[in-house]
Amino acid sequence: MAFIKRKYLIDLETILHYFGEVGIFIGISLFIPIIVALIYGEEAYITPFLYVGIFSIVLSLILKFGFKKRNKMSIKLSMFFVMFIWLYISFLGALPYVLSGELTFVNAFFEAMSGFTTTGFTMFSPTQMIPHCINFWRGFTQWIGGLGIVFMVLSIMQIVGNDVKPLYNAEGRDERIFPSIKHTTKSMLLIYTGITVVGIILFIIAGMPVFDSIFYSFSAISTGGFALSSSSIYQYNSFLIELVAIVLMILGGTNFNLHYVVLKGKWREYFKDIETKIFLVVSVVSILVIGLLLTYHNVYGSNIFHNFRFALFQVISAITTTGLQTSFAPELHGGYTNLGVFILVIIMIIGAGTGSTGGGIKLERVGIMYHSIQNHIKSLLEPSNAVVVNKYHHIKDYRIDDKMMKYTLTFISLYLIIYIISVLIVLLYCNDLSGVLFEIASAMGNVGLGDGLVGPTSPLVVKLVYTFDFWAGRLEIWPVVIVFYNIARKLHKTI
């Protein structure tokens, strides 16, 4: 027993050491909104960011140098680390909201978790005037969280050694464009930053103010969904601005390894990829059905192109798990009908590409299940001695074996179980089945499309369920399930 306790202490020391690595990065990030506060004359908000930034760096330096790496980061230990580091950085990210007096702690933690997980639900009241520096921090948390907190730290803080691969994999990444993770993360961060800058320029050209362009470029490429007003991006009522956002959302929702391959000149790979094929089929069908529904009900007038404009934007926002809106609760409850809302629920659950900034089950897993079902049907029709090859193309060719099928099916099952449990809990507090199904799908998929159910005055339990769903969805279920399973098993042994 003493040996076991010692082992746990050694593991804890290793995890706390890496908490220090990540906390330094967050602490430095907290100083950036101070520049925005100075530009816009919001000196009263400098102190919260300054104090929290200093606190984060000092605490993190204590953790980094006070606790040594005593163990290699196994995949199991990495799962524990990744699970709790998102809680830690959300705690740090919430403090400026609290110290500035903008939000209570519970609402601030909700806001920070929603930001870092690129979800986009907000605790700010629609009528609340939000300072530029606070809005910048909201947008910047999404941008930081877009590729993943651990990913960002691996890219910038130069963690080396045997611990890199387990940390990289634990955050839901198992693809690399180079044998070296260091080279892969740097290349992907460069692409991410480059698209962000291009997005800012395109938004400005389209007629959006500079600050808004920066904010919405952060929000769109990270598939985050935070907005500067209750009208989201529809406040500009500009089809050109919406087109720029659509391009950024699609780029953010696409595997960044695929971006790299395309940029290297292999553009045909984009159309050969299983995720692209599923994305195009699901998007086109959804846009057609919803567009026709909106036209039939004259939701946005009798002009068919005007109705399809809204269908196009909302479908792309949903399937890329971004959450920017041009359609709101009145339209969702009216012209979209239950069929339109159900389609949005399905595509939010499907989600974006693997290795993207998006959430959901992911297009690759849907593709694996489709091919598995298709080939199983073929095997039933073929002679018993026939060999049916089950494979798909995702940057390269993959063969679907029993292990991959079981892993994929287990993930999808766990995802749907958590979704159903979350829906049941929230229904205890909100008697709106359609709205709850919609918003929980949005929360778990890190989408942020809202139906008006959750807000600053919502019951505490509802806020906690949503926050848990942001967290579990962003971590792609496994770290949360594995950690809770281990804790339950240890408790069972002690009883």
205-236 residue pLDDT tens: 999 999 999 999 999 999 999 999 999 999 99
**pLDDT tens digits, residue range 264-276?**
889 999 999 999 9
* pLDDT score of 69: 75
pLDDT over 70 for what percent of the chain?
90
Task: Give the best-scoring range by mean pLDDT among 15-29, 101-115, 328-342, 473-487.
Answer: 101-115
Of 32 and 302, more confident: 32
Pairing state between β 396-399 and 391-394: antiparallel
Cross-strand bridge partners of residue 399: 391
What's the CA gap between 474 and 470, in Å, rounded?
6
Q: Quick check: 360 pLDDT over 60?
A: yes
* pLDDT score of 183: 75
**pLDDT tens digits, residue range 80-97?**
888 889 999 999 999 999
Q: Quick check: 2 pLDDT over 50?
A: no
What's the CA gap between 25 and 140, in Å, rounded?
13
Q: Give which of 363, 341, 313, 328 is closest to 441, Cα–Cα.
A: 341
By the 10 Å C-beta count (0-12 exposed, 13-18 middle, 19+ buried), 389 is classed as exposed
> CB within 8 A of 165, min separation 6: which ones?
181
Q: Quick check: 146 pLDDT over 50?
A: yes
CB 206 within 8 A of CB 240: yes
How does the average pLDDT of the chain come out, rounded? 89
pLDDT over 90 for what percent of the chain?
64
Task: Encode the chain in three state secondary structure.
Answer: CHHHHHHHHHHHHHHHHHHHHHHHHHHHHCCHHHHHHHHCCCHHHHHHHHHHHHHHHHHHHHHHHHCCCCCCCCHHHHHHHHHHHHHHHHHHHHHHHHHCCCCCHHHHHHHHHHHHCCCCCCCCCCCCCCCHHHHHHHHHHHHHHHCCHHHHHHHHCCCCCCCHHHHHHHCCCCCCCCCCHHHHHHHHHHHHHHHHHHHHHHHHHCCCCHHHHHHHHHHHHCCCCCCCCCCHHHHHCCHHHHHHHHHHHHHHCCCHHHHHHHHCCCCHHHHHCHHHHHHHHHHHHHHHHHHHHHHHCCECECCHHHHHHHHHHHHHHHHCCCCCCCCCHHHHHCCCHHHHHHHHHHHHHHCCCCCCCCCCCCHHHHHHHHHHHHHHHHHHHCCCCCCCCCEEEECEEEECCHHHHHHHHHHHHHHHHHHHHHHHHHHCCCCCHHHHHHHHHHHHCCCCCCCCCCCCCCCHHHHHHHHHHHHHHHCCCHHHHHHHHHHHHHHHHHC
Instruction: Provide φ and ψ at 249, rounded to 5°.
Output: -65, -40
Angle between the 32-39 and 46-66 helix axes, to the nearest 10 degrees? 170
Assign 379 a pLDDT band (cuts: 50, 70, 90). confident
* pLDDT score of 334: 81
Of 273 and 384, more confident: 273
Assign 130 a pLDDT band (cuts: 50, 70, 90). very high
**pLDDT tens digits, residue range 93-122?**
999 999 999 999 999 999 999 999 999 999
> CB within 8 A of 297, min separation 6: which ones?
334, 335, 337
Residue type, 296: Y
> CB within 8 A of 291, min separation 6: which ones?
304, 307, 308, 311, 312
Q: Quick check: 127 pLDDT over 80?
A: no
What's the CA gap between 328 and 384, in Å, rounded?
54
CA distances from 179 to 182, 193, 251, 337 (A): 9, 22, 24, 49
Assign 3 a pLDDT band (cuts: 50, 70, 90). very low
Instruction: Provide φ and ψ at 275, rounded to 5°.
Output: -65, -40
Assign 4 a pLDDT band (cuts: 50, 70, 90). very low
Assign 6 a pLDDT band (cuts: 50, 70, 90). low
Determine how many CB atoms are found less than 10 A away from the CB of residue 334: 12
Q: Quick check: 158 pLDDT over 60?
A: no
Assign 1 a pLDDT band (cuts: 50, 70, 90). very low
Q: CA 307, 309, 312: angle at the middle one, nearest 5? A: 110
What's the CA gap between 299 and 262, in Å, rounded?
39
Task: Give the best-scoring range by mean pLDDT among 60-69, 255-264, 313-322.
Answer: 313-322
What is the average pLDDT across 431-451? 94
* pLDDT score of 467: 97
> CB within 8 A of 219, min separation 6: which ones?
120, 139, 142, 225, 226, 227, 322, 324
What is the average pLDDT across 39-48? 96
Q: Is the pTM of this model over 0.85?
A: yes
Q: Quick check: 395 pLDDT over 90?
A: no
